[in-house]
């Protein structure tokens, strides 16, 4: 599933095309994806200007001129595809309709934004922008890891006394939003912390080091266009490249990247997810 860097990459690709443009026509080609679409979704979108495109956790939010925001969740295989508009160095003509084109937004500037989702684990919803924090997908989210509210003191306090593994704690969206399996594995490797270590037994000093490392890993991944695993593509159809510099994720039985370490990367399963780590460098 796309994590924060992939979602932010898609948002940045869509923003130059969508922000300031009017949704001239909306096609909603099925009643639901993971959950039912909101009532009269096409009618509520048509004629609305996209005033701002932003991200909250793993959701893209399009603030509309009528006071509602369109929430977009990519799910496992969802893709937001741009056609009929130049994005960077790329121009894609409008393609023929495809089987899994579930929502198509025809923008007043001539662009077409297509939400294609083969597995249908994605979602779209409309909500009152002013009351965004009351939405059931938003209200329990913790602070953004790249925002000012996420700092060393906050994370130390959140992890204090917790008996859950540090990997599980960092994946808890109520503690910090947007982190997923890939980037938590990479962060813990850089921090030298074993993913099964109990969160509450890690010293405050070591917990404090996680904050800049989380920001560093996420920023590097965003700059690389995210990680292309399985279905992820950027809005212009290009792949992300951060997967080429994974140090532990999906590197089972490969040599550890730490100079002087002669161990290989191991994998364990935690809460149904694979955790990758070096048994010597991470304690």
Q: What is the pLDDT of residues 30-68, one digit of tens each?
A: 999 999 999 999 999 999 999 999 999 999 999 999 999
With a CB cutoff of 8 Å and minimum separation 6, the contacts of 173 are: 57, 140, 141, 142, 179
Break the chain into its structural domains and give their ranges: 4-134, 152-277
What pLDDT sits at residue 31?
A: 96
Give the residue-averaged pLDDT of 9-38.
95
User: Domain 152-277 falls in which CATH fold?
Assistant: Helicase, Ruva Protein; domain 3 (1.10.8)
Cα 219–Cα 251–Cα 220 angle in degrees, nearest 5: 10
Beta strand segments in the chain, E: 23-28, 50-56, 59-64, 68-73, 79-83, 86-87, 90-91, 101-107, 112-116, 123-128, 266-270, 273-277
- Among 28, 23, 67, residue whose Cα is nearest residue 45: 23
What pLDDT sits at residue 200?
A: 97
CATH code of domain 4-134: 3.20.190.10
Q: Are 7 and 59 in contact (CB under 8 A)?
A: yes
Q: How far apart are CA 187 and CA 212, in angstroms?
A: 10
Q: What is each CA distance from 68 to 31, 50, 56, 90, 206, in whole angstroms?
A: 20, 10, 15, 31, 42
What pLDDT sits at residue 85?
A: 77
54 in active site: no
What pLDDT sits at residue 227?
A: 56
58 in active site: yes
Residue among 55, 58, 79, 233 flagged as catalytic? 58
What pLDDT sits at residue 240?
A: 41
pLDDT tens, position by position, 98-110: 899 999 999 999 9
How much is the mean pLDDT over the chain? 91
Give the residue-averaged pLDDT of 126-149.
97
What pLDDT sits at residue 254?
A: 96
Q: Which two tokens stand for residue 74?
A: 């990519």
Q: Is the pLDDT of residue 228 over 60?
A: no
Cα 224–Cα 145–Cα 119 angle in degrees, nearest 5: 65
Per the listing, tokens 């084109």 go with: 101
Q: Which residue has the higher pLDDT, 86 or 105?
A: 105
Question: CA end-to-end span of the chain, whole Å?
Answer: 28
Q: Which two tokens stand for residue 14?
A: 């869509």
């Amino acid at each position: 599933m796309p994590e924060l860097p992939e979602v932010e990459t898609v948002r940045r690709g869509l923003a130059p095309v969508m922000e300031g443009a009017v949704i001239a026509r909306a096609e909603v080609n099925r009643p639901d994806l993971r959950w039912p679409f909101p009532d009269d979704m096409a009618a509520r979108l048509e004629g609305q200007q996209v005033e701002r495109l932003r991200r909250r956790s793993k959701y893209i939010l399009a603030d509309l001129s009528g006071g509602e925001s369109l929430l977009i969740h990519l799910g496992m295989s969802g893709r937001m595809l741009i056609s009929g508009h130049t994005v960077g160095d790329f121009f894609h003509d409008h393609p023929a309709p495809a089987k899994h084109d579930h929502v198509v937004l025809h923008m007043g500037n001539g662009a077409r934004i297509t939400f294609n989702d083969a597995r249908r684990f994605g979602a779209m919803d409309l909500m009152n922008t002013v009351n965004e924090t009351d939405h059931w997908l938003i209200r329990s989210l913790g602070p953004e890891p790249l925002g000012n509210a996420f700092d060393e003191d906050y994370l130390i306090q959140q992890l204090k006394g917790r008996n859950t593994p540090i990997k599980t704690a960092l994946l808890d969206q109520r503690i910090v939003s947007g982190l997923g399996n890939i980037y938590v594995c990479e962060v813990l490797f850089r921090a030298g912390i074993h993913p099964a270590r109990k969160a509450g037994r890690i010293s405050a000093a070591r917990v404090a080091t996680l904050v800049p490392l989380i920001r560093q890993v996420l920023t590097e991944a965003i700059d690389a266009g995210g990680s292309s695993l399985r279905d992820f593509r950027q809005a212009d159809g290009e792949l992300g490249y951060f997967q080429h510099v994974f140090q532990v994720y999906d590197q089972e039985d490969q040599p550890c990247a730490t100079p002087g370490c002669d161990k290989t990367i191991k994998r364990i399963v935690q809460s149904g997810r694979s955790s990758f780590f070096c048994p010597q460098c991470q304690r």
